[in-house]
Amino acid sequence: METLSSLAVPTVLILAGLVMARGKNAFDAFLRGGAEGMRTTFSLIPSLTALICALSMLRASGAAELLTELTSPVLSVLGIPPEVIPLAITRPVSGSASTAAFSALLEETGPDSLAALCAAILMGSSDTLIYVMGMYFSRTHVKKARRAVVIGAVGAVMCLFLSAALARIFFRDAA
């Protein structure tokens, strides 16, 4: 591994030399790429603003806590630890909110509990559905995203059930 990392800088320099030898102006290509990246960044700001506002309203209204209370008995019967429900609710919406929920869960239950192991698997196997769809669809100008949202939501629910099952299978001693 050390040999591979020691070859990284010479490889980059050789590739840059080859690009310049072919007559391509690498600096102009770099500037064009940087300008396109800035345009992309600025085009995403309205979507990010709407997402942040919606998440703040969800938290402030108490809807997340209410949903946790309502779903806790059913999910407990299905083998999903009730402590994971706040994480399962926030994970598809916000990465930072789900990280905060994960941190709170670790403090509450400890890192070796079944709930913490289930939550760790959930954090590693799922993504922020609304954020990813909002960013990609706003950039590619997709207007009809209904089916994609449904499929993404089904995937998020499957991640929840599978994380609980995998935690029970691989970490039986923690249960």
Examine residue 57 and state whether it is found in any structural domain, yes or no: no
Examine residue 135 and state whether it is found in any structural domain, yes or no: yes
Do 66 and 32 share a structural domain? no
Show the domain range for 20.
1-43
Do 166 and 106 share a structural domain? yes
pLDDT confidence band for 119 (50 / 70 / 90): very high
Residue 135 contacts residue 98 (beta carbons within 8 Å): no
Do 67 and 38 share a structural domain? no
Residue 74 contacts residue 35 (beta carbons within 8 Å): no
pTM over 0.75: no
Amino acid at site 44: L
Examine residue 50 and state whether it is found in any structural domain, yes or no: no
Do 76 and 11 share a structural domain? no
In this predicted structure, the answer to whether residue 152 has a pLDDT above a threshold of 60 is yes
Examine residue 51 and state whether it is found in any structural domain, yes or no: no
Do 31 and 67 share a structural domain? no
pLDDT confidence band for 24 (50 / 70 / 90): low
- The whole-number pLDDT of residue 19 equals 74
Do 149 and 85 share a structural domain? yes
Do 71 and 38 share a structural domain? no
Do 158 and 101 share a structural domain? yes
pLDDT confidence band for 127 (50 / 70 / 90): confident
Q: Alpha helix locations (H) across the chain?
A: 2-6, 8-21, 26-61, 63-77, 85-90, 95-109, 114-125, 129-140, 146-170
The number of folded domains in the chain is: 2
